[in-house]
Structure 1
Amino acid sequence: MIYFDDLEVGQETLFGHYDVTREEVLEFAQKYDPQPFHLSDEEAAKTHFGRLAASGWHTCAMTMAVIARHVVDTEQAGLGSPGVDELRWLKPVYPGDRLTVRGKIIETTPSRSKPQIGVIKSENTITNQDDVKVMTFTSIVLMLRRPTA
C-alpha cells in the first residue's frame, strides 16, 4: 500500500493513457454537453475547432478514469479529493487522439486536525499523441498516513 508518507515533493508519475473514440465523444456530448460542435461534424467545421471536438468535461472524465485506475492498480491509500485548482483546457481534444496523463507532486501537508491524513497537491498535465498540452490542473488529494505500530 502506498501512503501519504511514501510520497515526496518533486515526485513525478505517469498515470497512463486514454484513447479517445468518436463514439464516446458523441455519447458524452449527447448526455452531458450537447453543444453543436461536440455533436456534429458540420457544426464543428464552422467553429475554431474545425472538426468534432470532445467536451472539456469529457477530457476531465477521461483523465479521471486514467488516474483512478492507476490509484487502484498501485494500491494507494487515497481518500478522495476536495477539489481541483487552476483547471485549464489548452487545446481541443479530438476523436482519435491518445491522451497521456502525468502528475508532479508540488506540496505535501500533514493534517493538523486529523493526524491520520495528509494532503497532496499535484500539477497534472494531459498531452495528446503529439506531446501537445491539452489540459492542466492542480489536484488536491487526501491520503491516509502510514499507520504507526
Structure 2
Amino acid sequence: MHWFEDIEVGARRAFGSYAVTREEVTEFASKYDPQPFHLSDEAAAKTHFGRLSASGWHTCAMTMAMIVEDLKGREEAGLGSPGIDELKWLKPVYPGDTLRCEAEVTEKRRSASRPEMGLYKSRMTVFNQDDVAVLRFISNGLIRTRPAD
C-alpha cells in the first residue's frame, strides 16, 4: 500500500497515452461544450484554432482517464481530491494528437484537523506527440496516513 508517508516531494513520473479522435471531440463538445470551433471544421477555420479542436474540458477529462488508468494495479491509500489549482490550457488539442502526462510532487502536508490524512500537490503537465505542453495544473490529492500498528 502507498501511504502519505511514502510520497516524496520532487518525485516525478511519466505515464499515459491517449489518442484523440475526431468522433470523441465532436461527441464531447456536442454534449458539454457546444461551441462551433469544437463542432465544425468550417467554423474552426475562421478562428485562431485553424481547425477543429478539443474542448479544454475534454482535455481535462482525457487527462483524468490517463490518471485513473495509471492508478490501476497500484494499491494507494488515496481519498480523492479537494480540487485543482492554476488550470491552464496552453495549446489547442486536435483530433489525431496523442496525449501523455508528466507529474511532479511539489509539496505535502499532514492535515491539522484530520491527522489520519494528508494532502499533497503535484504539477501535472500534459504533452502532445510533439512534446508540446498543452495543459498544466496543480493537483491536490488527499491520502491516508500509515496506520499506527
- Supply the distance in 1 between the matched residues of 2:103 and 2:5 (Cα, whole angstroms): 17
* RMSD (Å) for aligned C-alpha atoms: 0.9
- TM normalised by structure 2 equals 0.97
Q: Is it true that 1:112 corresponds to 2:112 in the alignment?
A: yes
Q: What runs of 5+ residues in structure 2 fail to find an aligned partner?
A: none
Task: Give 1:46's aligned residue.
Answer: 46
- Supply the distance in 2 between the matched residues of 1:70 and 1:13 (Cα, whole angstroms): 10
- TM normalised by structure 1 equals 0.97
Change (3 A) 1:15 1:78: farther
AA in 1 matched with 2:22: R
- Supply the distance in 1 between the matched residues of 2:70 and 2:46 (Cα, whole angstroms): 38
Matches within 5 A, 1:1-149: 1-149=1-149
- Secondary structure of the 1:114 match is coil
- Supply the distance in 1 between the matched residues of 2:21 and 2:76 (Cα, whole angstroms): 29
- Secondary structure of the 2:70 match is helix
Percent of aligned positions that are identical = 62
Over 6 Å off, 4+ runs: none
Q: What runs of 5+ residues in structure 1 fail to find an aligned partner?
A: none
Question: Would you say how many aligned residue pairs link Structure 1 and Structure 2?
Answer: 149
